[in-house]
Amino acid sequence: MVRYKLITLLGIFILHSAFLSAQTEICDNGIDDDNDSLVDLNDPDCACEVIEPISLIPNPSFEDLNCCPSERSQLGCANNWMQASEPTTDLIHTCGWLGWENFPPPRPFPDGAGIMGFRDGRVRQSNGHHDAFWKEYAGACLISPLKKDSVYRFQFDVGFVDPESSPPINITFFGTTNCDNLPFGNGNNAFGCPTNSSDWEKLGEVLVSGGSGNTWRNAILEIIADKDYRAIAIGPECLPHANPVNLYYFFDNLLLADLQSFDLQIQEINHRCSEDFTLAVADNPVFGYQWYKSGIALMGETEAELSQNYGPGVYQVRAVDGTSCRLSETFEYVIPNIDNFVQVNICHGETYLLGDSEIALSGFYLDTLHNSNNCDSLVSLELHVIDDQQHATEVSILAGDTYEINGQSFREPGEYPLTFESMLGCDSLVLLKLSTFEVFIPNAFSPNFDGLNDYFEPFAPSGRVARVEMEVFNRWGGLVYRGDRWDGSELNPGVYIYQISIQVDYGAVRQYAGSVTLLR
């Protein structure tokens, strides 16, 4: 009887194993159906064609470099990109130059470590004049041309500084049939947009707004090519804007592909640090959807958009239309940690607020804060406390002149304690030590070259006279000398009249007139 039971149990085990081995993986139930330790998409039984758009624009996220940018106007460091316009765009990359101090790019960047920055108009620092036609464009020759009568989608990210520096903008997309038409407007900073040349056509534009700023916005253009376009340019609209300030924006992740390629491109809904962050693809009623995390089906997630935030991880979505299976490329959801380095100067007696802490001592501090998007931001603070400073300033002026400092005037020699406010608002204590000097003009000289009084010239402490202009006249008013040092050559002894203009080292000019006796 025992042997019979053992044979029966062994038979059941063999039948069960055979049944499992005959099973195939069901790809959307989160179960290892065929008992091979591989669940859903992780099992080769669930192989699906991966569909992802590949950009016709080379180096779409400015990651492939031939050099690391060290300053502005170095877009050429990004392979396959060029300055399309005479006004130059900027390559910003974490390997080197991180952009203008007054136009900080929003962090993190949408894709990778590189972005491009551009202006729409420019205010000259020298005179405040606004160059409305200063338009900055980037251009590239396409990997393969846009085909006539085909439909394409241009999808990209636009970065905004703040509402003043980056108001809403019409991002404009241009095309040309010949790569040789890049760049355009050579030598002409006021050439404006590409369509001022007959070689270029506007393919589309889209209005993008950055709201309160310090953010990235995704924008989409759909176009039907009416020619075979081989090169593109992107930047501001053609309309000039007379703005009182410089307008500045950023580009990243420039994805240009045929429309069908975007069916399963995963898009972000809300900021990655938001509790409401989720993912979606374009909704196509032909498809049935299933979402996966780490290759395992998320039960109930069968719409084009996820219903909730499932946390960081690797996501994909599968689409089935009854005859074929399509699978998106993977999307890695990572909550970014942003590093910020801050240098701050404060006055003695003041404090600096870092998170919930008030700091009053010079030093280096680290803290983790939440930024406006609820991301963790690691702040490195270098704080310098400026004490009330006292130093002496020694000034010497021509007797009778006035020395002015901070709205106060001083004429008499002496020591004057003064208190000023620095650019940071800190007290700065200055002890002004004021002295005077005289210019001496002799009333006689003897040009006999014995080394004593051989020349007629003014005398002052060393280095104080910067320029001398002298005219000497005889008693009948005839000009006998013009220069800066008279030796009385070949003139008879007697009395002569002079007029002298003297400029001292701090710029003041004084006039002197009188008579001098020439002795032999």
- Token pair 């991002």: residue: 171
Distance in Å from the first CA to the final CA of the chain:
155
Amino acid at 191: F
331 with 54: CB under 8 angstroms? no
Handedness of CA 184, 186, 189, 191 (dihedral sign): negative
340 with 346: CB under 8 angstroms? no
Confidence bin at 128 (pLDDT 50/70/90): low
46 with 101: CB under 8 angstroms? no
On the question of pLDDT at 196 being above 60, the answer is yes
Q: What pLDDT, on a 0 to 100 scale, did the predictor assign at position 372?
A: 65
Strands (E), 371-520: 376-386, 389-398, 403-405, 408-410, 414-421, 427-437, 444-445, 465-473, 479-483, 494-504, 509-518
Compute the distance between CA of residue 217 and CA of residue 448 in angstroms, rounded to an integer: 87
- Determine if the peptide bond prior to 108 is cis (ω within 30°): yes
Residue 401's H or E segment, with its range, is: none
Mean pLDDT, the chain, as a whole number?
88
Nearest to 69 by CA among 81, 60, 85, 54: 81
On the question of pLDDT at 455 being above 80, the answer is yes
Which tokens sit at 390? 């006292």
472 with 492: CB under 8 angstroms? no
Handedness of CA 402, 405, 410, 414 (dihedral sign): negative
Q: What pLDDT, on a 0 to 100 scale, did the predictor assign at position 390?
A: 66
Provide CB contacts within 8 A for 198, sequence distance 6+. Answer: none
Residue 14, burial from CB neighbour count under 10 angstroms (0-12, 13-18, 19+):
exposed
- Kindly report the number of other CB atoms within 10 A of residue 268's CB atom: 16
DSSP class of residue 329? P
Nearest to 155 by CA among 224, 218, 62: 218
Residues in the chain: 520
Confidence bin at 181 (pLDDT 50/70/90): very high
- pTM here is 0.56
The predicted model gives 510-517 an average pLDDT of 95
Number of alpha helices (DSSP H) and beta strands (DSSP E) in the chain:
1, 34
On the question of pLDDT at 57 being above 60, the answer is yes
Phi/psi at 31 (5° precision)? -125, 145
301 with 28: CB under 8 angstroms? no
The DSSP annotation for 34-54 comes to TSSS--GGGSGGG--EEE---
Distance set, CA 347 to CA 180, 353, 420, 516 (Å): 58, 14, 13, 59
Residue 256, burial from CB neighbour count under 10 angstroms (0-12, 13-18, 19+):
buried
| Domains observed in the chain | 1-41 (no CATH), 48-52+266-335 (2.60.40.10), 75-263 (2.60.120.260), 337-386 (no CATH), 389-437 (no CATH), 444-518 (2.60.40.1220)
Give the tens place of pLDDT for each residue, 68-88: 999 999 999 999 999 999 999
Q: What pLDDT, on a 0 to 100 scale, did the predictor assign at position 18?
A: 43
Give the tens place of pLDDT for each residue, 1-24: 544 444 454 444 444 444 444 478
The larger pLDDT score, comparing residue 174 to residue 386, is at 174
Compute the distance between CA of residue 318 and CA of residue 126 in angstroms, rounded to an integer: 58
Compute the distance between CA of residue 489 and CA of residue 478 in angstroms, rounded to an integer: 16
DSSP class of residue 179? G
What value, to the nearest 5°, has the Cα angle with vertex 353 and ends 347 and 355? 160
On the question of pLDDT at 167 being above 60, the answer is yes
Confidence bin at 389 (pLDDT 50/70/90): low
The predicted model gives 384-396 an average pLDDT of 78
On the question of pLDDT at 143 being above 90, the answer is yes
